[in-house]
Structure formats: structure tokens, C-alpha cells
Amino acid sequence: MQLTGNFPKGFKYLPGYFSHEEQRELVETLRYLVKESPLFTPVMPRTGKPFSVRMTNLGELGWVSDRNGYRYQSEHPETGQAWPTIPEVLNDLWSRVGECEAVPETCLVNYYASTAKMGLHQDRDEKTFEAPVVSVSLGDTAVFRLGGVKRGGPTQSLKLNSGDVVVLGREARLCYHGIDRILGGSSSLLKDGGRLNLTLRRVSAF
Ligand code: SIN
Ligand code: FE2
């Protein structure tokens, strides 16, 4: 059991939001979309060091990182094509849990092999922080680290299992967060193992 009472205001943890069957359908949909818009390996601004996660995007805009910096753009950096549309099931999730009148403009799809991780960071490349970040975990369990809005403050760790949803909204919108590690082999949802994380966001002001 994890303690679930002590989260920052505006942070929502919705364990098991998606049933196993819904997760399988979502993975099928994503498999199809990722064929159209393949996973790419982003690199760090300036240094060009590759990320350990691979990513792609859905929606009008997609988050990319390369030697020139982090930004949102409307085309896939390798194919030059527009990103595929966000599936209805994810728009529905946003309207149910997001407490936001505006629609999401992007869904970042991160794929973590069992050795991948993501350092503690804030999501702050958007033009508005009025809308939440809504995140879905699929596949292997991740050890998620959650801090406060200030760098260097106390953090807590939380296991995110397949089907769990997390919302960073309002006062928690700019909380630091990251992935310490993936528990390889903890789920059989993805046929090659690993974890998919989907993060729905609004980029423009509304
Ligand atoms: C992210 O911060 O972009 C991903 C978080 C996660 O994988 O749960
Ligand atoms: Fe993030």
C-alpha cells in the first residue's frame, strides 16, 4: 500500500482508472498511431545527449527536444508529417478529470524501455499553466518522484501501475516530477515490455 493522503493540493492520483480491457484497446490504438508517427529519440539541447526515453506526439502540437532547445511544433521531426489526432478516449479522460474548459492540444507519448528514466523537471514549455497535465501509465510499473514547485524541496515516491492516471493541476501544475526507474517485467500489457506514458496538455492560452 502507498500513502495517498499527503499529496500537494491540485495533484490527483487515480489508481486503476482504466480497466485491463480499456488498457488493451488503448494500446491497440496507440500501436496503429505509432506506425503513422514513429517513436524518435530526442536529444538534449546543446549537448546533443540522447534521452533514454523514445517519444512521439498526438494532437495539433507536439513537444520536441533537439540541439536547438525544447519546443512545440506541428510536425514530426523525422517524417515532417502532422501528428495524428488525439483519440477520443483521451479527450474524454481530459474532460472527466482535467477540470478545464479548453480542449487538450497535445499528447506526448513516451516509451520507457526497462532501463529508461526521466530526471526531475517541471513541465513549463507551455504558454499557459491554467490547464492541467493529465498523465496515463501503461505497461510496466514506474517509480514516479513528485516534489513541490520549488527546486530542491522535499520529494516523495509513488509507484505508477498500468492503468493509473495522474493529474498535475492548479497549485500542483508546476510541481517537479520524474521517473526514477521502471520495474521491468511487472506488466504483460506491452508485448515487448517497458512502459508507455501519455501526457495530455494544453499549450496555448485560452
Ligand atoms: C513526463 O514527465 O513527461 C513523464 C512522466 C511519466 O512518465 O510518468
Ligand atoms: Fe513532465
pLDDT band at residue 1 under the 50/70/90 scheme: very low
Q: Closest Cα to atom 3, ligand 1: which residue?
A: 199
Whether the pLDDT of residue 80 is over 70: the answer is: yes
Q: With contact defined as beta carbons under 8 Å apart, do 105 and 128 qualify?
A: no
pLDDT band at residue 107 under the 50/70/90 scheme: very high
| CB 106 near ligand 1, within 6 Å | no
Q: What pLDDT is stored for residue 56 in this prediction? A: 98
Query: What integer is the mean pLDDT of 179-206?
Result: 98
Q: To the nearest whole percent, how much of the chain has pLDDT over 70?
A: 98
| CB 57 near ligand 1, within 6 Å | no
Question: Which stretches of 87-173 are assigned E, i.e. beta strand?
Answer: 106-112, 118-121, 133-139, 142-146, 156-160, 165-168
Q: What pLDDT is stored for residue 156 in this prediction? A: 96
CA–CA–CA angle 148, 15, 39 (5° rounding): 80
Model pLDDT for residues 6-39, shown as the tens digit of each residue: 899 999 999 999 999 999 999 999 999 999 999 9
Whether the pLDDT of residue 3 is over 60: the answer is: no
Whether the pLDDT of residue 55 is over 60: the answer is: yes
Q: If one looks up domain 11-201 in CATH, what number appears?
A: 2.60.120.590
Place of cell 489526432: 85
Q: What pLDDT is stored for residue 4 in this prediction? A: 52
**Cα(144)–Cα(195) distance, rounded to whole angstroms?**
12
What is the whole-number distance in angstroms between the Cα of residue 5 and the centre of ligand 2? 22
The atom of ligand 1 lying closest to the CA of 121 is: 2
Query: Residue 197 in 3-state DSSP?
Result: strand
Domain-wise residue ranges, the chain = 11-201
Query: What integer is the mean pLDDT of 150-167?
Result: 97
**Cα(123)–Cα(187) distance, rounded to whole angstroms?**
27
Query: What integer is the mean pLDDT of 49-57?
Result: 98
Model pLDDT for residues 118-155, shown as the tens digit of each residue: 999 999 999 999 999 999 999 999 999 999 999 999 99
What's the length of the chain? 206
Q: To the nearest whole percent, how much of the chain has pLDDT over 90?
A: 97
Query: H helices of 18-168, where?
Result: 20-36, 88-97
The atom of ligand 1 lying closest to the CA of 112 is: 7
Phi, psi of 135 (to 5 degrees): -125, 140
Distances (CA, A) of 18 to 100, 125, 141, 191: 20, 28, 14, 18
Q: Closest Cα to atom 5, ligand 1: which residue?
A: 178
The atom of ligand 1 lying closest to the CA of 144 is: 8
